[in-house]
Structure 1
Amino acid sequence: MAEIDHIVVGARTLEEGANWIEAQLGVRPTPGGSHPGIGTHNMLLGLGPETYLEVIAPDPGQPEPAHPRPFDLDDPSVKLMLEAGPHLLAWVARTPALDAVAARLGASQGGEVRAWSRGDLTWRMAFPSQRQDMRNLIPPLIQWDDGRGAAPRLADSGCRLLALEAEHPDAAQVQSAMRQRGLEESLKVRQSPHPRLVARMRRPDGTEIALSSG
């Protein structure tokens, strides 16, 4: 069974992303680190013992990676969007059976399983291809090597992810993809002319806001 691991906010730089999150949620994310060979680095915000928010940006301290950066950070349309400011880009779901799920979905839908690391954290991820990710509404799958991941290591910010929602012209296809991954309870899907991911959040002061990909 898969479940929400974290949500992903993209930014041109980590400083811009951290400033934006602090303005939106009232709490500043903490430094994470660099992803060697991936071309990115991040900052993190704990949302409780099982979930967190990741701010990710191109890492100027790394050479250009062999593969495109994750979450479409190298896509011209995403780069243009981030010129205007940070945005919610995607979400990631964790599973204890990544190889089995990826094999069942097949390479075209499940993506290639690749190893990642940051400091002493190691994990593997499978990203669906751009043709299959339905504008990042279909999450990459992650399996943490220690079985726990990043969330338990983070200080609790007091913020909470209340709900994750998707809007898409073909809502039935999104729902089908969720069922294939055991995620039908994790994402509320509704019909809409324009694809959009929405994360409904509660700040430490109890007020509620929404972060959106569009």
Structure 2
Amino acid sequence: MAEIDHIVIGARTLEEGARYVESLLGVKPSRGGAHPGVGTHNMLLGMGANCYIEIIAPDPDQPEPAHPRPFDLDDAAMRTMLEAEPRLIAYVASTPALDAVVARLGPSHAGEIRAMSRGNLSWRMAFPPQRQDMDNLIPPLIQWEGERAAKHIRDSGWRLVSFEAEHPDPQSVIAALTARGLAEAVKVRQSPHPRMIAHLRHRDGREATLTSA
């Protein structure tokens, strides 16, 4: 059974993303690091032992990557939206059976597996091709090799309560999520425009909502 590993806030710069998260949640995210060769870097906000928020932006200290940056960060429409304000742009799901899922769905649907690492953390990910991700409603899959990153991030007191996806063709989204073991993790409903919504709650009772549109 897969589960949501982290949600992704896209930003024009990390500084803008950090200010956005702090203004919304009242907590400063911690520095993450660079993704060499990918052209991005990130900051992190812990939400317990199994989930966190990743703030991601193009890394000005890296050359242009050989492949498009993840989560459509190089897409012109996405860049225009992020110039206005950082926002929720994607989520990543953790699975204990990455090889089996990719073998069953095929790389044309699930994407190709890439090994990645930073410090003592190592993981493998499969990003679905853009034509298969249904506006980022179908998440990349990650399998951690050893401990998950969330265990090493300072806990903010916030928790992901629920995650929703809206799409003109909800049955196709449901089918794709079910094939990845995520039928119980994401609530899907019909809507004229694709959108994702993350509902958060703090241990002190405060609530917040992150949306992609």
Q: TM-score, normalised by structure 1?
A: 0.97
Letter paired with 1:184: A
Report the alpha carbon displacement of residue 204 of structure 1 after superposing the two structures with TM.
Answer: 5.0
Are 1:75 and 2:75 matched, yes or no? yes
Report the alpha carbon displacement of residue 99 of structure 1 after superposing the two structures with TM.
Answer: 1.2
Are 1:32 and 2:32 matched, yes or no? yes
Report the alpha carbon displacement of residue 118 of structure 1 after superposing the two structures with TM.
Answer: 2.3
Partner of 1:21: 21
For residue 20 of structure 2, give the secondary structure of its aligned residue in structure 1: helix
CA distance, structure 2, for counterparts of residue 196 and residue 134 of structure 1? 10
Report how many aligned residue pairs link the two structures.
213
Contact residue 36 and residue 117 of structure 1 kept, 8 A = no
CA distance, structure 1, for counterparts of residue 205 and residue 18 of structure 2? 21
For residue 101 of structure 2, give the secondary structure of its aligned residue in structure 1: helix
Letter paired with 1:129: P
Within 5 Å, give how 1:114-129 maps onto structure 2: 114-129=114-129
Partner of 1:144: 144
Partner of 1:194: 193
Letter paired with 1:99: D
Partner of 1:103: 103
Q: 5+ unaligned residues in a row in structure 1: which ranges?
A: none
Partner of 1:173: 172
Root-mean-square deviation (Å): 1.0
Contact residue 165 and residue 187 of structure 1 kept, 8 A = yes
CA distance, structure 1, for counterparts of residue 69 and residue 175 of structure 2? 27
For residue 131 of structure 1, give the secondary structure of its aligned residue in structure 2: helix
Contact residue 36 and residue 118 of structure 1 kept, 8 A = no
Q: 5+ unaligned residues in a row in structure 2: which ranges?
A: none
Q: CA deviation digits over 1:137-184, x for unaligned, max 9?
A: 0000001111x2210111110011110000001011101011101100
Partner of 2:159: 160
Partner of 1:206: 205
CA distance, structure 2, for counterparts of residue 130 and residue 4 of structure 1? 20
Letter paired with 1:58: P
Letter paired with 1:41: H
Q: CA deviation digits over 1:108-149, x for unaligned, max 9?
A: 110011122223322111011111101000000001111x22
Letter paired with 2:178: R
Report the alpha carbon displacement of residue 203 of structure 1 after superposing the two structures with TM.
Answer: 3.4
- Runs (4 or more) in structure 1 with deviation over 6 Å come to none
Partner of 1:88: 88
Report the alpha carbon displacement of residue 202 of structure 1 after superposing the two structures with TM.
Answer: 1.4
Report the alpha carbon displacement of residue 49 of structure 1 after superposing the two structures with TM.
Answer: 1.0
CA distance, structure 1, for counterparts of residue 192 and residue 55 of structure 2? 28
For residue 173 of structure 1, give the secondary structure of its aligned residue in structure 2: helix
For residue 61 of structure 1, give the secondary structure of its aligned residue in structure 2: coil
Q: TM-score, normalised by structure 2?
A: 0.97
Contact residue 9 and residue 54 of structure 1 kept, 8 A = yes
